[in-house]
Structure 1
Amino acid sequence: MPEVSHGLAEVIEVDLGPGVRAGFTTRAGGVSPAPWDTLNLGTAVQDDPGRVVRNRERVAGWVGAPVVFATQVHGAHVLQVDAADATAGTGDALVSGTGAIAVAVLVADCVPVLLADARAGVVAAVHAGRGGLVAGVVDAAVAAMVARGAQPGRIRAAVGPSIAGVSYEVPAELRDEVAARHPATWATTSWGTPALDLPAGVLAELERLGLRDVLHVARDTWTDDALFSHRRAGGRPTGRFAGVVRAPV
């Protein structure tokens, strides 16, 4: 999928159904200087708040509506969002049934997941890090969509760029603990050490939940300089990119 520039913000667009606007931002197209260069959307990474506001406005220009974010805590709480606000509260999945706004999650190695049932007019943005995946955030988001009229067989999903299994080194005990819940996550790095494949775990969970139309944007944040990576930054400040989705108007 090519990166498309809209008002400078460069976005990896994905097709989640008629009338749905969805995509994953990249580092490019914003106003922040190094080390956030340039489209940093995170407010808690030492970037100037005014620059982050301007960057978020560029994403809103691309998606065509105000974008609502949440305070993410690596859990499974789902927020119902149907009105514009700077933040929807604390949670790791945002579900919306209106095209008047877009919902988004921030990442820099974790897995962003976008979901849409265009016929029901319901969408979701999900932040699926290691903790959220284990806590059941993907399951909770799909259940919340179904409660609003979506059907798993109609839901289209896009699993966005994240750190790949070959790059996400973890202690062997942690790998075994997570894989006991999500076997698809068991992995080994390209240099032969224990690892977790979070995208594989998310894809397996979506299949288990009955989703059949699933796209994976398989770009590794650890190796792809066009995307932010917390791990690659090695403790230095870096930005956050986003998965953004808007329901049909």
Structure 2
Amino acid sequence: MSKPFTKADCLIPDWPAPANVHALVTTRLGGVSQPPFNSLNLGTHVGDSPADVTENRRRLRSLLPAEPCWLNQVHGTDVVCADNRVETPQDADASFARQPGAVCVVMTADCLPVLLCDQAGTVVAAAHAGWRGLLNGVIESTVKSMGVPPSQLMAWLGPAIGPDAFEVGPEVYAAFVEQNFAADTAFEEIPDNKYLADIYKLARQRLAKLGVQQVYGGDFCTVVERERFFSYRRNGRTGRMASVVWIS
């Protein structure tokens, strides 16, 4: 019999959020899925055993006040309200909540999870920010949906592909720099007309431009930390982690 799943199997954000704001990120530890999804895969769309995913989600649910507002993530910018959770996941890449007990969640395996809350502990949000969503404004859409001045928000950047591993083509570099020339500093040119991209820096730039001054996290690499995190870039066929946030 496997050991009980606890918060010790998760990553707890290190940020000065109000006492009534709670957040965690699952790792690949503490579940029942078999390789290559070992062990706490929470994604239903990656080819894992449905029964195993159901059990893994049950384990996560045991740490939460309610079933999370699962999304059908499409690398877009739509944001839904987790206060009105529905059984069928909606096509969206972020959610926000103002009601105590409503749980926002995004799943990742290299893309950047961004958790947000206000200093008063009245609203929280979670955004799935791969480079496409980041470029197209998923952070901006999420902050707008929260309905409070950005200066009153704080953000935590969860585990994503690190700046030494995120190789992109010149079209990605050009798209970001065309929007904001300062994005040039988040890219390092390497041989074969490629670039290394710092998705954490790109997100920080976007948050700063909005007026979000308190930004934490951003010191992980899902590709390198193979025992702790799933990575699509590293493995291709792999599981998904969940980043969740809620108000009590």
- TM-score (norm: length of structure 2): 0.88
Q: 1:107-126 to 2 correspondence within 5 Å? A: 107-117=108-118, 119=120, 121-126=122-127
In the alignment, is the contact (CA less than 8 A) between 1:74 and 1:131 conserved in 2?
yes
Aligned-residue offset at 1:156: 1.8
- CA-based RMSD of the aligned residues comes to 2.2
Aligned-residue offset at 1:91: 0.6
- Output the CA distance in 2 between the equivalents of 1:125 and 1:189: 33
- Output the CA distance in 2 between the equivalents of 1:8 and 1:102: 16
- Output the CA distance in 1 between the equivalents of 2:244 and 2:132: 21
Question: Please, which moves more after superposition, 157-166 or 173-182?
Answer: 173-182
- Output the CA distance in 1 between the equivalents of 2:97 and 2:190: 37
Is 1:164 matched up with 2:162? Answer: yes
SS in 2 for 1:125: strand
SS in 1 for 2:167: coil
* 1:175 aligned partner, one-letter code: Y
In the alignment, is the contact (CA less than 8 A) between 1:79 and 1:88 conserved in 2?
no
Structure 2: gaps of 5 or more residues = none
SS in 2 for 1:109: coil
* 1:110 aligned partner, one-letter code: C
Structure 1: gaps of 5 or more residues = none
SS in 2 for 1:153: helix
What residue in structure 2 maps to residue 102 of structure 1?
A: 103
Is 1:23 matched up with 2:24? Answer: yes
Aligned-residue offset at 1:86: 4.0
What is the identity percentage for the equivalent residue pairs of Structure 1 and Structure 2?
33
In the alignment, is the contact (CA less than 8 A) between 1:76 and 1:135 conserved in 2?
yes
What residue in structure 2 maps to residue 230 of structure 1?
A: 232
SS in 1 for 2:168: coil
Question: Please, which moves more after superposition, 201-210 or 185-194?
Answer: 185-194
In the alignment, is the contact (CA less than 8 A) between 2:157 and 2:215 conserved in 1?
yes
Aligned-residue offset at 1:43: 0.7
Aligned-residue offset at 1:204: 1.1
Aligned-residue offset at 1:49: 1.5
- TM-score (norm: length of structure 1): 0.88
Is 1:242 matched up with 2:235? Answer: no
Aligned-residue offset at 1:88: 4.0
CA distances 1:3-41 after superposition (whole Å, capped 9, x unpaired): xx9537711112432211112111101111111111101
* 1:27 aligned partner, one-letter code: R
SS in 2 for 1:68: coil
In the alignment, is the contact (CA less than 8 A) between 1:83 and 1:100 conserved in 2?
no
* 1:136 aligned partner, one-letter code: G
What residue in structure 1 maps to residue 11 of structure 2?
A: 12
What residue in structure 1 maps to residue 208 of structure 2?
A: 207
- Output the CA distance in 2 between the equivalents of 1:49 and 1:18: 35
In the alignment, is the contact (CA less than 8 A) between 2:79 and 2:145 conserved in 1?
yes
Is 1:219 matched up with 2:217? Answer: no
CA distance 1:193–1:83, change in 2 (3 Å): same
Aligned-residue offset at 1:115: 0.4
* 1:169 aligned partner, one-letter code: E
CA distance 1:101–1:191, change in 2 (3 Å): farther
Aligned-residue offset at 1:120: 5.2
Aligned-residue offset at 1:192: 9.5
SS in 2 for 1:82: helix
How many residue pairs match? The answer is: 239
* 2:153 aligned partner, one-letter code: I
Aligned-residue offset at 1:74: 0.7
Aligned-residue offset at 1:195: 2.2
- Output the CA distance in 1 between the equivalents of 2:210 and 2:80: 20
